[in-house]
């Protein structure tokens, strides 16, 4: 029977996100300095062997998929792009059946597409018997997108370059302990929306209006994109304000938005934020998670193994 590998890959958020100048060498992408944190809400990517020469197939399931459905060009999907890239790098035929179970909100600043790509690399690395070390997978992930190298490892990490250069932060290191003491660990509420924001659109607005550090009407944010995201999606700003008033230790736009992440230090704060978001209709959906989180790889038994 064919082998199957399943990977649960967490969402990402940016505890800090400082945006620098555009770099011509990076096709106009901005220089970034960010602290990544993985959140336990995860997409599951399951890959199975496929007959030789059959190529790749893709199936996507889950709620709130938006426009994320397979079309005639499945090779535009992040997971299939990752499959193609690993096949090219390894010389392995690009034959596999890929099934994505979506739980991470789409186009929400939570790295769902990057998580799918990272999960695919991790799954195929096992399915195809490559067993490449993380250092060998990282450059492939970096060629696919800024957040993808982080999604391979999860936890905490310091990202530089355009986000692709990753220095992992161990939870028991001085920096990891400091993040924990600052309240960037434990229970998290994610405020998600039925609408989405385009990352290029948010960056274009950032280029136009800046990070809002001179706007006294908004509290200072460690996410330089937050000001632009709120200008484009005002409900995110409302969700931040009511979450902080209800007892969240931190609340901010995740990446380029529009999702809002609220760290809650107690049951009382969690109940307060949840109630405030619902009563004020500040968000459309509330997702409970924990931080930090790591990917989980499972080799699933074949039918013959179960006999």
Residue 215 annotated as catalytic: no
Q: How far is CA 97 from the centre of its chain?
A: 23
d(CA 134, CA 124): 13
> Pairing between strand 285-291 and 29-48?
unpaired
Q: Which of 190, 189, 186, 191 is nearest to 265 (CA)?
A: 186
d(CA 98, CA 93): 14
d(CA 46, CA 35): 29
The answer, yes or no, to whether the previous bond of 258 is cis (omega within 30 of 0) is yes
Residue 147 annotated as catalytic: yes
Neighbours of 277 (CB within 10 A): 23
> Pairing between strand 260-263 and 285-291?
unpaired
Find the catalytic residue in 8, 12, 43, 224.
12
Neighbours of 296 (CB within 10 A): 15
Q: Which of 157, 135, 128, 144 is nearest to 82 (CA)?
A: 144
Find the catalytic residue in 43, 116, 147, 224.
147
Q: List the catalytic residues.
A: 12, 147
């Amino acid at each position: 029977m064919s082998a199957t590998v399943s990977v649960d890959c967490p969402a990402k958020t940016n505890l800090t996100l400082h945006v620098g100048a555009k770099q011509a060498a990076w096709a106009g992408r901005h220089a970034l300095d960010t602290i990544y944190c993985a959140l336990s809400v995860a997409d599951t990517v399951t890959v199975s062997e496929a007959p030789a020469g059959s190529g790749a197939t893709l199936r996507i399931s889950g709620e709130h998929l938006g426009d994320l459905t397979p079309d005639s060009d499945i090779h535009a999907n992040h997971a299939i792009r990752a499959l193609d890239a690993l096949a090219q790098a390894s010389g392995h035929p690009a034959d596999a059946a890929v099934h994505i179970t979506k739980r991470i909100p789409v186009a929400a600043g939570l790295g769902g597409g990057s998580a799918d790509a990272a999960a695919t690399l991790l799954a195929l690395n096992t399915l195809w018997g490559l067993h490449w070390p993380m250092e060998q997978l990282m450059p492939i992930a970096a060629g696919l997108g800024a957040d993808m190298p982080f999604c391979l490892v999860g936890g905490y990490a310091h990202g530089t370059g355009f986000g692709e250069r990753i220095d992992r932060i161990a939870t028991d290191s001085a920096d990891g302990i400091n993040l924990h003491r600052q309240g960037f660990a434990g229970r998290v509420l994610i405020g998600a929306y039925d609408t989405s924001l385009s990352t290029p659109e948010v960056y274009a607005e950032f280029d136009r209006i800046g990070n809002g550090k001179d706007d006294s009407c908004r509290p200072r944010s460690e996410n330089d994109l937050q000001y632009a995201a709120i200008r484009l999606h005002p409900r995110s700003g409302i969700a931040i304000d009511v979450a902080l008033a209800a007892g969240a230790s931190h609340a901010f736009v995740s990446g380029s938005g529009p999702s809002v992440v609220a760290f809650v230090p107690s049951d009382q704060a969690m109940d307060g934020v949840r109630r405030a978001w619902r009563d004020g209709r500040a968000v459309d959906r509330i997702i409970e998670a924990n931080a930090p989180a790591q990917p989980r790889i499972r080799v699933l038994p074949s039918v013959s193994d179960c006999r």
